[in-house]
Amino acid sequence: MAEPMDVTGSTFDQEVLQAGTPVLVDFWADWCVPCKMIAPMVDDLAREFDGKVKFTKVDVDADPEIAASYGIRSIPTLLIFKDGKPADQVVGAVPKSMLKKRLEAVLALTSA
């Protein structure tokens, strides 16, 4: 699976919190222009990190309670979960290289 998977309130625990690998969660909304700007970059990274990091998306309009429970106040926000807990957070449209470094840092923690 090299494409980010949509998760909802009913699938979040299983797909994100109980995942065996780190999970990037992209909090987005259809009306959010910066979200659309970073989507192709997130898709590229999903292919690049396939098998190492699971990529998921949460539509904050469809599932506002998930966003609220993690204090998401602006989008896009990318949360990287490790062992069921947030390990890193990136807010706003950032360069792909920066996001890649953050993912590699969380993976380095995993292998240590």
- Catalytic positions, please? 32, 35
Please say whether the beta carbons of 80 and 23 come within 8 A. yes
Element (H, E) at 85: strand 85-91
- Pure H helices in 2-95: 12, 33-48, 64-69
- Residue 46 structure tokens: 């999903």
Classified as helix, coil or strand, 21 is coil
